[in-house]
Every structure is written in structure tokens, then in C-alpha cells.
Amino acid sequence: MGATATYQDIVYHTVEDFSPCPPMTRRCLMSAPLPITIPPIASGRNDAFNDTGRTAFCGPYVVSAITGYPISKIENEIRAFRALPDGAQPEIKGTTADDVAAALRHYGFNMRQIADYMQVARKERPSLWTWMQRPRNAWSHYILAIHKGKEGHWVLVKGVKLCDTYSQGKWEFVCDGPHKGAKVMEIFEVKRAIEF
């Protein structure tokens, strides 16, 4: 990815590490560059970047906010997954969970379903605000399929903030957003796919 580290920057555990000296004072004498192939996992949040020059829809917005790639690249991946010829569908509307998962997989993320409320009556489903009160991993991204009117809508939650098309791809506190009372249909957890 272009970022490199040297062996001097990494603390190694050797037989010498068990000496009474503090571990931060010992460095390896080798200085060959060590390529970093896995992008660093940061606790920060990416704003979605709409470079299309038109209104984009919720599926590409949430994937853009997770990956940091512009919406045009996300839409191209969804088109490739749908096996559409170039220019066949200028804007991506109505994405499915499979579309979103395929785009995330292309950029090195795994998406797994952790809750499904589709078999529960709509009035008995938890609202976004109710779900926010439950324990969860504050460092993971969660994609929620919610009801917005008669349509479904994707929102992205990380910690106590939310990102979607209504916020123009910017992160805002869930308590300040328009979706607090929206009923949740499905919940997916997204984590970086780390391969060794």
C-alpha cells in the first residue's frame, strides 16, 4: 500500500527480552524495509465521498463511509456484482444485502448478519434508538436496514454516531438524527477481513 516500516520500528520478543532492561530500549539492528500489506485499522470514521455529481443512494453511501473509497468506485463494484454492462444502470438504486456485501468484500471487509427481525411484526421490531441502548462492540461498523416510510433504508452506525444519505455522508450523533424511531429490519456487523 506504499507505507513501509523498518525492523527498527518493531519491538521483537527474543531471549534478550527477558533481561531486566525495559523492552522499549532494545531495538533490532537490522534496518531492511518491511512492507505493510494490510492497511492500518483506525478507530476513526470516514465520511462518505460523493464524486458522482448527482444524488447517490444509501447502499453506496454506507460502503463509501466504511471503506473510504468514493461512491463512483462503490457503484462500479455493485454493477460488476450484478453483471451489468457498462453504462446500463447509471445510478445504483435499491441495493440488497448481497450487493452491499459484495462491494465490501472487494475492498477487504466481511459483513455478517447478527439479527433479523423480518419475521417479527413491524410494530414489535426494535427502533434504532432501542437497539442503540443494547451492548455492542463500539469499534465495529454496523449496517442496519431500517424502515423509512414504505421503503427500506441502509444506515451505518459506529459507536454513537450514524452516517447515511440524510446526513450527506457525514457522521452525526444518532440522538440528533432523523431515524431514532425507525424500526430495524436487519443488522449486519462489518469488520476488516484480515488474511495471513
Tell me the domain boundaries of the chain: 4-35, 58-192
pLDDT, greater one: 109 or 3 = 109
Handedness of CA 166, 60, 107, 50 (dihedral sign): negative
Nearest to 1 by CA among 32, 37, 30: 37
Mean pLDDT of 144-159: 90
Nearest to 65 by CA among 128, 148, 160, 157: 157
Instruction: Say if residue 196's pLDDT is above 60.
Output: no
CATH architecture of the region 58-192: Alpha-Beta Complex (3.90)
Report d(CA 54, CA 56) in Å as an integer: 6
pTM of the model: 0.73
pLDDT, greater one: 85 or 118 = 118
Q: Could you please report the per-residue DSSP string of 66-120?
A: HH---HHHHHHHHHHHHTPPTTS-SS--S--HHHHHHHHHHTTEEEEEEEE-TTS
Segment 160-174, tens digit of pLDDT: 999 999 988 899 999
Cα radius of gyration (the chain)? 21
